[in-house]
Amino acid sequence: MGDTIFGKIIRREIPADIVYENDDVLGFRDLNPQAPVHVLFVPKKPLPTLNDAQPDDAELLGKLLIAAAGYAKQEGLAEQGYRTVINCNEHGGQTVFHLHVHLLAGRRFTWPPG
């Protein structure tokens, strides 16, 4: 497991508000929420960034998105809609180098982003 704050959350070494878990994916609330619902979906296998994903990781990446969408449906957020975001490296605004999908919901988002 990579030694990031998210690795520590996956290993239950530090607390987090965990709202979703399956064999491959953990979902927990973002510490600094940007919307009424802001959940991070992380693979238990630590990939630092999307750049590190290999063809063998295709199934895992799919599972991450399916987890986010499934959670949105379960929470009644899917019909109104939501935004999913993967930040990559400096220009993408990534600050934690354990790949994660942001699920943002509960308000309207603008496009293009800032």
Q: What is the dihedral of CA 44, 22, 58, 28, to 10 degrees?
A: -60
Does 32 bind ligand DGP (CB under 6 A)? Our answer is yes
Of 93 and 106, CB closest to ligand DGP: 93
Of 79 and 97, CB closest to ligand DGP: 97
Does 24 bind ligand DGP (CB under 6 A)? Our answer is no
Asked if 58 and 49 count as a contact pair (C-beta separation under 8 A), the reply is: no
CA dist., res. 85 & res. 64, Å (int): 12
Annotated catalytic, 38? no
3 state SS of 69 = helix
Asked if 84 and 65 count as a contact pair (C-beta separation under 8 A), the reply is: yes
Nearest approach in angstroms of CB 16 to ligand DGP is 5
Scanning 55-63, 74-82, 90-98, 104-112 for contacts with ligand DGP by CB under 6 A, the matching segment is 90-98
Q: Which residues contact ligand DGP (rule: CB under 6 A)?
A: 5, 16, 28-32, 40, 87, 93-96
